[in-house]
């Protein structure tokens, strides 16, 4: 049921930029970004096709840009590894160590094994969230397509980790709610669907949580920016920076949401690991 | 039906906000008291609190999702 709703909403949200329907109302209240400026500049000219493409795929383009930025930063930090690290390598090592320390609280000795996935997830989401605060950029995570795909990746990763660490029979046993007593086995037909639904509700809640928070933040910033311009438009040629406190709040919210997404993913992974690490 | 939705959708958001605010308020209050009693365990308490808040928040955000789905019917 919930997955059907998600799909229904994805379908409603998919043609963003092409057919501004009622469900795009949220997208319309956000501040203009580079792709919109580009498509407005290009409309009617020989670049019109590229402009429409950029606007329709803006979320993917920004996500790709963020990934490229992270890739370049990571490659630059890891290319010349030395005993006495330079500035970039030092910063990168600090970040990685902090994330590892944070994951060790949840995953115990398995933290290092899952650090590449979860650390990348954290940095990727953090950079995508923060790009919503840069003028003329847009947070890709303020679109449900991006967050839903991230949550689906987590779902697949958790299930694959579960099958690999527990083995298929024990994984199925875990999926059935680890029945031990007779009562548990009698209740199995009731418990198995319940567990399956809760397993499938996780990516939905992950995706909607990130999307809702970041979109709410972006809409709030754009509303306050508009308010700052409208409030003094009669007397002053410039607007008031009313959005500034909201941007500071956004810095905090972006970090917290990236943290929550990573934390919940690692908790889901911890649940499918052998029981001594619960 | 549409008129009903026009009244109902904002009320849904408001109701979800009230419930979420009470839930998160209780969770954070308990966490703050626990940290006050045992400051050395603050990092563990904080992590549990963030997870709990995230679950409470998810229920609020389901409402937002439903609102977005129903918004198309206005």
pLDDT tens-digit profile, chain B (74 residues): 788 888 888 898 899 999 999 999 999 999 999 999 999 988 889 888 988 888 888 888 888 888 878 877 77
Is A260's Cβ below 8 Å from some Cβ in B? yes
Structure tokens at B17: 């906000």
Q: How do the domains of chain B map onto residue ranges?
A: 2-68
Structure tokens at A266: 């690692």
- Predicted local distance difference test score (pLDDT) of residue B27: 94
Give phi and psi for A237, each to the nearest 5. -80, -10
What is the nearest CA distance from A58 to chain B, expressed in angstroms? 21
Is A259's Cβ below 8 Å from some Cβ in B? yes
Query: Do B51 and A25 count as a contact with CB atoms less than 8 A apart?
Result: no
Residue pLDDT, tens place only, A234-245: 887 777 888 888
Is A264's Cβ below 8 Å from some Cβ in B? yes
Selecting from A12, A208, A260 the residue whose C-beta is nearest the C-beta of B50 gives A260
Is A202's Cβ below 8 Å from some Cβ in B? no
The CATH topology of domain B2-68 is F1FO ATP Synthase (1.20.20)
Q: What string of DSSP letters covers B9-72?
A: HHHHHHHHHHHHHHHHHHHHHHHHHHHHH-GGGHHHHHHHHHHHHHHHHHHHHHHHHHHHHHHT
Selecting from B43, B51, B74 the residue whose C-beta is nearest the C-beta of A263 gives B51
Residue pLDDT, tens place only, A10-46: 444 444 444 333 344 444 467 778 888 888 888 777 7
What is the CB neighbour count within 10 angstroms for residue B61?
A: 23
Q: How do the domains of chain A map onto residue ranges?
A: 57-277
- Predicted local distance difference test score (pLDDT) of residue A254: 92
Q: Say whether the ipTM exceeds 0.85.
A: no
């Amino acid at each position: 049921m919930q997955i059907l709703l998600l799909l229904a909403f994805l379908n409603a949200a998919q043609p963003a930029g092409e057919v501004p329907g009622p469900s795009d109302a949220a997208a319309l209240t956000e501040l203009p970004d580079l792709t919109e400026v580009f498509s407005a500049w290009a409309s009617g000219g020989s670049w019109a096709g590229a402009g429409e493409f950029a606007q329709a795929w803006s979320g993917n383009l920004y996500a790709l840009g963020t990934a490229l930025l992270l890739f370049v930063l990571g490659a630059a930090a890891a290319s010349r590894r030395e005993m006495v690290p330079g500035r970039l390598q030092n910063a990168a090592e600090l970040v990685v160590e902090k994330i590892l320390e944070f994951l060790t609280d949840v995953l115990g000795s398995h933290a290092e094994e899952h650090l590449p996935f979860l650390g990348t997830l954290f940095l990727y989401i953090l950079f995508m969230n923060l790009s919503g605060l840069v003028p003329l950029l847009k947070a890709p995570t303020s679109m449900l397509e991006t967050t839903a795909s991230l949550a689906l990746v987590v779902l697949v990763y958790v299930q694959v980790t579960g099958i690999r660490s527990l083995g298929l029979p024990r994984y199925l046993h875990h999926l059935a709610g680890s029945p031990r007593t007779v009562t548990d086995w009698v209740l199995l037909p009731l418990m198995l669907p319940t567990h399956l639904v809760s397993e499938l509700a996780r990516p939905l809640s992950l995706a909607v949580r990130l999307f809702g928070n970041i979109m709410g933040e972006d809409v709030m910033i754009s509303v306050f920016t508009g308010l700052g311009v409208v409030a003094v438009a009669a007397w002053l040629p410039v607007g008031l920076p009313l959005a500034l406190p909201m941007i500071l709040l956004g810095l905090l919210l972006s970090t917290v949401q990236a943290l929550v997404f990573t934390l919940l993913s690692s908790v889901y992974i911890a649940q499918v690991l052998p029981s001594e690490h619960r | 039906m549409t008129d009903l939705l026009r009244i109902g959708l904002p009320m849904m958001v408001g109701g979800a906000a009230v419930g979420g605010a009470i839930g998160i308020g209780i969770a954070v209050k308990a966490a703050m008291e626990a940290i006050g009693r045992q400051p050395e365990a603050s990092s563990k308490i904080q992590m549990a609190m963030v997870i709990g808040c995230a679950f409470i928040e998810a229920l609020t955000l389901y409402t937002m999702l439903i609102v977005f789905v129903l918004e198309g019917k206005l």
